[in-house]
């Protein structure tokens, strides 16, 4: 018998595979189906900062002729959006029987501390904070931007007891330093990496159009490198891999690199919730074939600290690979 249970953010999960935050996890029926097929936890769709601020702006516009108190309007909208979200947390907790991780997607401090408290009260087991701010101001330096992230993380984590993971992009000047800073400001884990909505250009209409929201298979290699590099350095801090995981092989590789959990999103859209059963079964088969009894027997086995040739993760490897491929050019 092999045991595939893991600890993530201090929570006990029966599988390392987590349903990532998306429209898929905004539907109670799908959340229950995911739980039945053996997912370790579900991250609910994010409550977006824009969802709240857009509603406020709209109501302010339509009520401009009235003498209504603006503070009351703002309060009403926040209660309304948050109320629906809090209900989803309660329903998911009651029906799914697995850890439920709420998610907020924000770019400023605003009222998130207050919302996080409501989310905790509703029974969420943890909170994933997705901070996403495209730096359009070229005169702002990276340390100022990072300080803004830290301020949000600190103010949220200080106000609640449930663990907080921060979902981040891969583009930081020194990712290792930044992730250590997240821990220093109260986060219990990080999700590497967020995959942002990306615009594309239509050559037909000569307009900006949304690119597909779904990832490609090879994208998991990006977090494989960073999890392998960061996992030996982080203590009492969870790392969750996200993006480009379409099969159990890439998920197992991410565990070997040191991920505590692996998040699935595009594969659920394309193959449905029961694909998680395949992931769990194939993980168990892999473990049996290699003689591993529990996940900790091999988690991080191939991280930066544990391999005999750490250069495999470094810049020098690029030179060797480029040389090899240049010989193969037709």
Ligand X SMILES: Cc1cc2nc3c(=O)[nH]c(=O)nc-3n(C[C@H](O)[C@H](O)[C@H](O)COP(=O)(O)O)c2cc1C
- Residues in contact with ligand X by the rule CB under 6 A: 20-23, 45-46, 103, 105, 130, 167, 194-195, 213-215, 242-245, 264-267
Nearer to ligand X, 216 or 316 (CB): 216
At its nearest, how many Å lie between ligand X and the CB of residue 164?
Answer: 13
Nearer to ligand X, 13 or 168 (CB): 168
Cα 93 to Cα 101: distance, rounded to the nearest angstrom: 10
Complex with ligand X: residue 191 or 229, whichever CB lies closer: 191
Reference 175, options 218, 128, 234, 251; nearest CA is 234
What phi and psi, each to the nearest 5 degrees, are found at residue 38? 100, 20
Q: Which of 303, 330, 286, 118 is nearest to 227 (CA)?
A: 303
- Give the Cα separation of 22 and 126 in Å (integer): 16
Quick one: 23 or 199, whose CB is closer to ligand X? Answer: 23
**Closest distance of CB 6 from ligand X, Å:** 18
> What is the smallest separation between the CB atom of 307 and ligand X, expressed in angstroms?
26
Residue 219 to residue 216: CA distance in whole angstroms: 6
Instruction: Give min distance, CB of 252 to ligand X, in A.
Output: 15
Q: Using CA atoms, how far apart are residues 229 and 235, in angstroms rounded to an integer?
A: 13
> 73 or 265: whose CB is closer to ligand X?
265
For ligand X, give the closer residue by CB, 212 or 326: 212
Task: Yes or no: say if 19 and 25 are a contact pair by the CB < 8 Å rule.
Answer: yes
Give min distance, CB of 137 to ligand X, in A: 24
State the DSSP H helix or E strand holding residue 157, giving kind and residue range, or none if neither.
Answer: helix 142-159
Taking the least distance from each CB to ligand X, the nearer of 22 and 303 is: 22
Q: For residues 229 and 251, which CB has a smaller minimum distance to ligand X in the complex?
A: 251
CB of 243 to ligand X, least distance (A): 4
Smallest gap, in angstroms, from Cβ of residue 287 to ligand X? 23
Report the distance separating Cα 115 and Cα 132, nearest Å: 18
If phi > 0 it is left, if psi is from -120 to 50 it is alpha, else beta; for residue 123 that is left
Rounded to whole angstroms, how far apart are CA atoms 10 and 6? 9
Query: Which two tokens mark 144?
Result: 């100022």
Helices assigned H by DSSP within 97-196: 112-121, 142-159, 175-184
The H or E element containing residue 44 is: none
Nearest approach in angstroms of CB 128 to ligand X is 7
Ramachandran quadrant class, 309 (left: phi over 0; alpha: psi -120 to 50; beta: rest):
beta
């Amino acid at each position: 018998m092999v045991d595939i249970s893991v600890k993530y953010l201090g929570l006990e999960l029966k599988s390392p595979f987590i349903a990532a935050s998306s429209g898929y996890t905004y539907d109670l029926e799908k959340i229950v189906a995911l739980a039945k097929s053996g997912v370790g936890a579900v991250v609910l769709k994010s409550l977006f900062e824009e969802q709240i601020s857009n509603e406020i702006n709209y109501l302010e516009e339509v009520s401009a002729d009235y003498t209504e108190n603006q503070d009351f309007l703002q309060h009403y909208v926040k209660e309304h959006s948050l109320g629906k979200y809090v209900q989803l947390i309660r329903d998911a907790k009651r029906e799914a029987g697995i850890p439920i991780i709420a998610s907020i997607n924000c770019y400023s401090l605003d009222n998130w501390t207050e919302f996080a408290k409501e989310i905790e009260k509703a029974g969420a087991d943890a909170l994933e904070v997705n901070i996403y701010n495209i730096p359009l101001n070229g005169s702002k330096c990276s340390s100022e931007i990072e300080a803004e992230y830290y301020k949000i993380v600190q103010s949220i984590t200080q106000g609640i007891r449930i663990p907080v993971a921060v979902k981040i992009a891969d583009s930081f000047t020194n990712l290792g330093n930044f992730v250590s800073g997240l821990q220093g400001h109260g986060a219990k884990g990080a999700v590497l990496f967020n995959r942002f909505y990306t615009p594309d250009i239509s050559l037909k209409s000569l307009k900006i159009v949304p690119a597909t929201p779904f990832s490609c298979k090879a994208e998991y290699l990006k977090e494989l490198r960073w999890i392998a590099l960061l996992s030996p350095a982080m203590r009492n801090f969870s790392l969750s891999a996200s993006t480009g995981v379409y099969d159990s092989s890439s998920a197992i590789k991410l565990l070997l690199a040191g991920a505590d959990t692996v998040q699935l999103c595009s594969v659920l859209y394309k193959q449905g919730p029961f694909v998680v059963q395949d992931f769990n079964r194939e993980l168990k088969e892999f473990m049996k074939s290699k003689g591993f009894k529990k996940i900790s027997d091999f988690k991080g086995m191939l991280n930066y600290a544990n391999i005999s040739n750490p250069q495999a993760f470094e810049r020098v490897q690029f030179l060797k690979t480029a040389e090899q491929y240049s010989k193969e050019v037709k």
